[in-house]
Amino acid sequence: MVTTMWLTLRVFLALPFLLWPLTASQAQETVAYRLHIEAAWTAESHPLDFPEHPTFSRMIGATHDLDYAMFRDGDTASSGLELIAERGRPSIFRIELEEARDRNLIGTVFEGGEIEDIPGRTTLSFEAIAAFPHVSFVTMIAPSPDWITGVSGVLLYRDNAWIDRVEIPLWAWDVGTDSGDSYAAFNQDTQPQQSIRLVSTPHFLNDRGLLGVGRVIIERVKKDR
């Protein structure tokens, strides 16, 4: 079911490029964006076992085409994503992004600092072109066994035009590499590795459903006339 839905979504997202071919100027146009990350994961909103020093680790993201997915429900985490989820370290993931760029799947790679004071916010800047119209980023929810948040595959070029603004909720994701079920759980390597899925432990769940951990606002930077 998930696979079928994802294939349908991929076709739908690709329609703008099938229906409205890019002109030469559109294909080369570079567009600047700011990505505002607001962390709203607090003891008041998520009271169960809330950690003493909550942090969103160093951020890393990229623009990319439709064939690349930074993380996705049902997929298996890469070694680089595992290291981010368990240690907050983007070093291997950075190498994986460069390898994807060599395969012409990735455009711009961008990074930003961690959010140490939560609730808090940070802003990342990046540029996009029509050949790589999607944007994704990821960060570790720390401390945690292997939990991340971020966005994956946000389409910025729709109906033959760049969008000006989009707002997206942030959810907690389990990347399936550690079997711990609490923020400070001891390391429990998951064998075999499980698929990526939303965290559904009581830490991020109440009687109304899943609890988000913040939001992202992506805004186009308009050029001065």
Q: What is the pLDDT of residues 108-123, one digit of tens each?
A: 999 999 999 899 999 9
Whether the pLDDT of residue 21 is over 80: the answer is no
Please tell me what DSSP assigns to residue 207.
T
Q: What is the pLDDT of residues 155-179, one digit of tens each?
A: 999 999 999 999 999 999 999 999 9
Q: What is the pLDDT of residues 31-53, one digit of tens each?
A: 999 999 999 999 999 999 999 99
Amino acid at 52: E
pLDDT at 189 (0 to 100)? 87
Q: Which two tokens stand for residue 6?
A: 């994802």
Q: What are the φ and ψ backbone dihedral angles of 173, each rounded to 5 degrees?
A: -120, 140
What gap in Å lies between CA 79 and CA 193, rounded to an integer?
Answer: 11
Confidence of residue 225 (pLDDT cuts 50, 70, 90): low
Average pLDDT over residues 89-111: 97
Give the helix/strand (H/E) hosting 25: helix 24-28
Nearest to 34 by CA among 121, 116, 131, 97: 121
Whether the pLDDT of residue 187 is over 80: the answer is yes
pLDDT at 41 (0 to 100)? 93
What gap in Å lies between CA 83 and CA 85, rounded to an integer?
Answer: 5
* Domains detected in the chain: 30-220 (2.60.40.2130)
pLDDT at 11 (0 to 100)? 42
Q: Judge whether 213 and 183 are in contact, CB under 8 Å.
A: no
pLDDT at 10 (0 to 100)? 47
The upper half-sphere exposure of residue 132, i.e. CA atoms within 13 Å in the direction of its Cβ, equals 24
Confidence of residue 24 (pLDDT cuts 50, 70, 90): very low
Confidence of residue 4 (pLDDT cuts 50, 70, 90): very low
Q: Which two tokens stand for residue 136?
A: 């994704």
Confidence of residue 27 (pLDDT cuts 50, 70, 90): low
Average pLDDT over residues 194-211: 93
Give the helix/strand (H/E) hosting 142: strand 134-142
Confidence of residue 208 (pLDDT cuts 50, 70, 90): confident
What share of the chain has pLDDT > 90, as a percent?
78
What gap in Å lies between CA 70 and CA 66, rounded to an integer?
Answer: 11
Whether the pLDDT of residue 18 is over 50: the answer is no
Whether the pLDDT of residue 12 is over 80: the answer is no
Q: Which two tokens stand for residue 34?
A: 């700011």
Averaged pLDDT score across all residues of the chain: 89
| Exposure letters 129-142 (e unless 16+ CB within 10 A, then b) | bbebbbbbbbbbbb
pLDDT at 45 (0 to 100)? 93
Burial of residue 41, with CB atoms counted within 10 A of its CB: 0-12 exposed, 13-18 middle, 19 or more buried:
buried
